[in-house]
Amino acid sequence: MTISNMTKDYDYLLKVLLVGDSDVGKHEILSCLEDASSESPFCSGNAYKTTTILLEGKRVKLQIWDTSGQGRFCTIIRSYSRGAQGIILVYDITNKWSFDGIDRWLKEVEEHAPGIPKVLVGNRLHLAFKRQVLAKHAELYASRNNMSCFEISPLCDFNIRESFCELARMALHRNGMERIWRNNKVLSLQELCCRTIVRCTTVYAIDSLSLPTSVKSTLKSYALTTSQSIHNINHGTRFKYQCKYPLNHNRNSCAIS
């Protein structure tokens, strides 16, 4: 971990590895970080992206190293683990083989970077109808291995930054900054549905949607309270809200699932 001086635009610098089997969507995750910039300090094969997150008023710059296409996993960890403060272990929730492969990655991580903070990430939550890995199984696995666990969707921009924020908290906690870090809430799929619908419309246009009255009332409440929570966060408070209705949204209408 590097602490900045007055001339730098961040307070802490963390090196993060993004690892997992091929085709689990690591590039999708990086692409979702809109403010991330690509850098290649050594050669084109060792590029990383940087992005800055804000945690309790501190600017944390992340160097996110994508190990895609770099050969066998053991070689990757040996090459990239030097100086790393955190690791994101990625699997595809629609591919059980990719989840089983986490064991191989975890073994190499513990051998070459013992004790490093880790977050287990189940990618492609928007394809939950094709799910092959149950969330409770992933959570149990993460708990046994002292990891946080998130399910994410780059397509819907769901829980991407939350997972990186949690890893940053863990890394900074490990370096003696535990006083400012708090556990990060893993948002529910139901709240994702509410967030997605509200983002595409206004509170006044919700009545025109093809939805039951009770669902429209919930969405209007969500839209209003979410707006209020942003105001509260700016004043140092936090707001917690959970949508009560799971929703499916198709081309022409929405319906209760």
**Tokens found for residue 112:** 């070459």
pLDDT interval class at 5 (50, 70, 90) = very low
pLDDT interval class at 134 (50, 70, 90) = very high
Say how many C-beta atoms besides its own lie within 10 A of residue 250's C-beta: 7
**Tokens found for residue 136:** 């409770």
> Is the pTM of the predicted complex or chain greater than 0.85?
no
16 and 141 part of one domain: yes
195 and 172 part of one domain: no
96 and 33 part of one domain: yes
210 and 93 part of one domain: no
At 91 the pLDDT is 97
Domain boundary among 180, 197, 224: 180
**Tokens found for residue 246:** 């799971």
Say how many C-beta atoms besides its own lie within 10 A of residue 208's C-beta: 9
3-class secondary-structure state, position 110: helix
Whether residue 92 is predicted with pLDDT greater than 50 in this model: the reply is yes
Find tokens 């939805």 and name the residue. 211
Instruction: Count up the domains in the chain and report the number.
Output: 2
At 199 the pLDDT is 80
